[in-house]
Structure 1
Amino acid sequence: MASGRSIRFKISTLLVIPLVSLIALWGFAASTTSGEALNLLKVETIWSGVIVQTDNLVSDLQAERLASAERLAGTVQDPDILTKARAKVDTGRKTLRERALSEDTQSALTPDMRTQLQTLIGTIDQLPDIRRKVDERRLTPGGLVTEYAKISDEVHLLYSRLTVSTDLELALQAQGLIAADEVRELLNRENALLVASNGRASMHDVHLLAGIDGSRTYLFPKALANLDTELRAPFEKLYYSPRYVTMENLLESYVAGQPVDVQLWRGIADQVEKEFTQGVRNTGEKLRARMEPAGMGVLVRAVVAGALGLIAVVFSVFISVRVGRRITRELATLRRTALDLAEIRLPDVVAKLRKGENVDIGAEAPPIKVGHNATSEVSDLASAFDSVQSTAVDAAVEQARLREGVSEALRNLARRSQSLLQRQLRLLDEMQRQTEEPEALERLFKLDHLTTRMRRHAEGLVLLSGGAAGRRWRGVIPMEDVLSGAAAQVEEYTRVRVYPMPECGVSGAAVADLMHLFAELIENATTFSSPGNEVSVRGEMVGRGFAVEVEDRGLGMDEPTRRAINDRLASPPEFDPAQTERLGFAVVGMLASRHGIKVTLKPSPYGGTTAIVLVPGSLVEPMVTPVQPLEFESVSVSVIRQEPPTGTDELPRRVRTSKRNTGTHALPQQDPEPPRRERQPGLPQRERQANLPPRLKQAPPPAPPAEERSPEETRALLSSLQSGWQRGRQDSDQDGGSRS
């Protein structure tokens, strides 16, 4: 299975990311709107704690500045006026410090507001120095106005930072009110400057007065423009009043260099300033009264918008989760069904078809169901899987039929070949019985051996095509005879040596398969080793059965190849006719799997390969009657290889080397007329000249010495004799199964 993320995770990610973004936006909008509304609700605290106190302080400072201007001009009529004005300023300063620095007011202020408030308090703390300069008369009229203006300028900077509404209308009204208060401050500065100069201002003071008057003339209409009709009504009334017009004319005359009556000026300017101050305070109260309902309205809108947004978010989450779960459930169902189809149902169908069982396609591979209300794409995908499933099952059925047909054809051909080879072996057997000429017997033996090998190859084809070996044995066959019979089916049998081994046998039902298995391994060993090297076959009893080692001394094989073959032998795959390499190992693996035999290849100490075959204990049986070996006194033969051509298959008997003559291959010397010996049980012996006429019993004339036979010819002759003896004896004491 793939190691990627699940579909549930991916769908959840697709849903969670926009939902989180939506919730974040909703939270930001709700917090912003709520914060804005809460700021408007803080107006009362800021108004009472800061604005009212600073406004009173500015008014008191303006009064103190006028009184100080009279002192500098020397026109003081009441000495207590300045003292009372200073005392009132000190009281307002103390109140401002207490109220503005309280915990409630500080919590309502922003960091920028608190910083500006600290700056204002620090500027107010410089009042004692200003008063000392006034008392010592070290200030000019322009210096007096400038020193007191520092405090009022900081107050107006604080006002600009106290605007807490983001409502454009309210913000404009607040800016207009601040500008109107600045006009009041400029008007007071002009009044103080003209009073301090007592109508005899210096050129510097005249320039300062002209600048202040220009700023006031510019700022007043701008302040009125920011105020609505209701709020600017008192200022417009004052602006167009005769007093204000007269004041403007007096200022213009004074700036132009004409003398001015100070008493007349004070009477007009004080009245205008008083009306202006009252208008600023009334406008401020009206504006404050507007801010609280606006704040409540903003708060209500924020609550409603937040609630609606929350409902929308919850609804979106609900719909997204529901839809996501539905799609995930449909895809999970489709995934489980597809995996069940790919990993369980189709393999089971294919396995049953390979075994030749009948398969109900509708029951084994039903249509994929994803629900009636499934997503159209998922339904289309399920339909596509159904189509793939039907096509795959049909292909598997057709392939199984094709494989069965091919296997059946191969089995029929192999059976026919077996039948023909069996008939050929019978004919060869009869010819061997009727022929006594050594050269003819040798050729017949080679032909018999070649036919036996052909029969083994045909039998291998039957096994690979799913059939069973046709040969059968009864009783218990010695393991050494099974191995000798296997070696007899190999082309280069003369190089194979079967060493003596413990007396144990194999059930007759498994003899044919075991003999074929060992024959394939022995032939592989002889094929891939040098013609001069021996192939050793050894066997012994072990804890879990009987172990046989087939060892050659060839070049061996590399580790990857040996590992691949061992894996194939341990878990043999189904035979593929397209793979024609190493058919012998395919047969070995099939036979080993059939009987629970374990076959392992490992390197040989001689450089070749050793095949270790572990026959399980369930196939190994003890020998009831020990088999007496037939010994030849003068001939050393390791393996006698010849299979019976008749319907009853028998194994070659073991031939052991005589202790008296183990190093020669020569035939024993025979007398010209050997004495008649008593007939012994076993191999029939022919008596010389027993049935000849009397005149033919005479000794023949001397003949030239016969040419000595080669060891191979001697071995072939003795093998033929041995084969005839075995067939005769087996025909008399053992029956075999039929061959198909």
Structure 2
Amino acid sequence: MAALYVRLEGWPVTERQSTSERPTTDRRRGPVARLRDARIRTKLGLILIVPITALIGVAAVQLVGTGQDVLQARQAIRQARLADDATALTTQLQTERTLAAALLTTPKQKQGAAARAYREQIAKADRQLREYRAARAGVDSSERNLTDLLGRIDTQLDELDPLRRSIEKRDIIPLSTAVFSYRSLIADLLAYRQTLANVAGSDEAANLARGASAMASHTEMTSQEQEVGIVMLAGGSDVTSAQHESFQANLEGQAEALRAFRDAVDGDHVTAMERTIAGRGVGANTDTPLPGDRHALTTAQTQNDIIAAQRYEGDLSRASAGGTGTISGDVGTAQWTRTMGTRVALSGLVETRLREEFRALVQQQENDLLRQLVAESAAVSLMVLVAIAIALLTARSMARSLHRLEAGALSVAYQELPDTVARLRDPGTLGTLTADDLAAGVQDVVARPSQDEIGQVSEAFNVVHRETVRIAAEQATLRSSVSTMFVNLARRSQLLVDRLIRRIDQMEQGEQNPDRLGQLFHLDHLATQMRRNDENLLVLVGVDVSRARRESAALGDVLRAAQSQVEQYTRIELGVVDMGVDVAGRAVNDLVHLIAELLDNATSFSPPDTIVTAEACWIGNRVYVTITDAGAGIRADRLTELNRRLADPPSVDASLSRNMGLAVVGRLARHIGATVELRSALPGTLAEVVIPQDILESPGYRSVPDPTSARRRVETPQTVRAAAPARPSIGLPPHPATAAAAEPPSRPAGSAWFQIASTSRPEQASGVPDGSRDEAPPPRASATGRWESPADDGWRLAAASSRLAGHGTTGGLPRRDPQAQLVPGSVTRAPAPVRRQRSAEEVRGTLSSYHRGLQRARIGELYQPGEPE
């Protein structure tokens, strides 16, 4: 093992050598050789320093800044989309405010149309509100200090529905309060529009954002003028001072908004705005129709509305407080609302054009930034590739060496060593070779590429591989020796036990004393357990202990054979066992051994005064054998561990001596393809054995049995003659036909499960002729078509003299009276024989001999000792 502890520097060296004693000729070698033999730390430094420096120097300066610009542009786009939805919502709320003012100023007897128009506008505003909230969810309110503003907007939108209900009820809220609530919400929406200038990525975009905000303010002032005019017209000549001041303030606000617009944008946008406000180049007959409900207006109609609105505006502006001014008689609420609505739509059209231009410009900026980011990333990638190429030139020798080392290590780990260990499991693999001879013949799986650390690790790995193979060979030799020793000991013990059993059989045959005969029975059971223990040892070492068997065996016989191998067999009761199921001969002995181990375990770990029940049921295409005891049970964690060991039997070690039975059960179950599972069955434990279909056989004349057929009592009518099943269900024999008038059977009736080796079909019942024996000619039919026989007269006399009454046992089974079915008068009754009284000792001896004979017959038929193993 000293080879495992060699140093990894200056290979080969002794343990007393130090790195200072390495040859000095390495220092005079060329730079390429020194680079090849340099330490891994130095090589890694040369590989990583160039690409890391390039990546940090270029990517940190270029990509980070460009990425921030892209993120800012995307945030601007999201805010612009939200601003568009906010502007659309503002337009709907302005119209809703106007209709609310009209509703509140209309007399109750005439407000039906106004109320309908108000409700319709509410529906339109709600649709736009849903779009706004969807866009609002995509904007982080923590950015650009928008938390307070967006929070106020959200709060006022939540309060919008109560305001609408109050307006519809009219008497609850005054006009001024309703108008103020709308103005406050619209003002906050316009304030959010003004924040777009802060996120614009260029001066041009910022100017467009400021211009759009100015036009939004102009639209709001125009809408407020419309609302104030409605209130003034509703009051007639009684114009209040507050109304007059509000009207004049709206006019001044419009002028201020237009001045802000002219300051924000260039001359082309100012010219386009003035043309649109004047109604030139817009209308349904042009490419630019008006938005909303004004889309059908032509250019001429639009200009007429503008002229009328200016005239109405002059009349209202000249009206002074206290009614000193005059309002044209043709100015009504409807005319004022319609004409001012056209002006509001024209102002909103200018704002919409600016918003679209702003959004397109911001989108173009984002695209430009993305292209710039891609270009810079490509440049950085090119630099990284150049750095990697330089690093690869330096690290090529090390990379190849590491690749060979990795390939060799993986080959050893996943192919060489597993294959070698698998071959060494066969005791004949070594033959006459020793472990050292086998290790010496192992070739190096990793070639030593250089004199650096990688080469030293490669050589050390080859040494480890050889040592591993040698140790595996030694372990295989040891396992083979131990297995051979176990097999020899178990075989010798088997021979001795077989001789002991034969000797006990000879003593039983000549023994007449019931007490000594019972002791011999007990010794016989102990010897049987010793033989099963020897078989367990052979199973654990991997020797097939199954005796060759050609005939199948009934499932019930398999259970009884397993029962006979258990010391406390008297505590075992066989419950319901489905009929018509045979176990293939190749699996009979293993299945008997498996079930016997489970029965032995159940009787050993349950109170001696309890019963262990074994049942077997055919379900689907499998047979389920359940063994239930009334013991103390098993903990859940312990039960899980035992089931795991049953499903995957562990390798042989010292711990198996404590749970040898379960280990044997797991290996036998795997050998025949069965599964075994332990479950809790309060009280006690339930062991379930699932027998697969491939080791099951059913007699040819029977179909797959119904699991419930063996549990159902079948009453056979007197007139029906049917063939009895060859192998009835254990635990519930077939119910005989009551009062069946039939001739005696052709052979003695008996349970078919005593005939284990028989595979022929069962004989038909005696009432159904099969043509295999000579029969008397059938009686002829009379001319009337009735069957007659010479005994008819006797039967008629018997029927005339007395009536046969059906009778049976207290349990419901029929009871047969000797000669009750004979024709009256045809047989002379013989005197009843005198019965001899036997002593209790004679009765016990007879019953013990009978029981022992049955047990020996069953075991002999299942195991067939005379056949080769």
TM-score, scaled to structure 2? 0.39
Question: Highest CA radius of gyration, 1 or 2?
Answer: 1
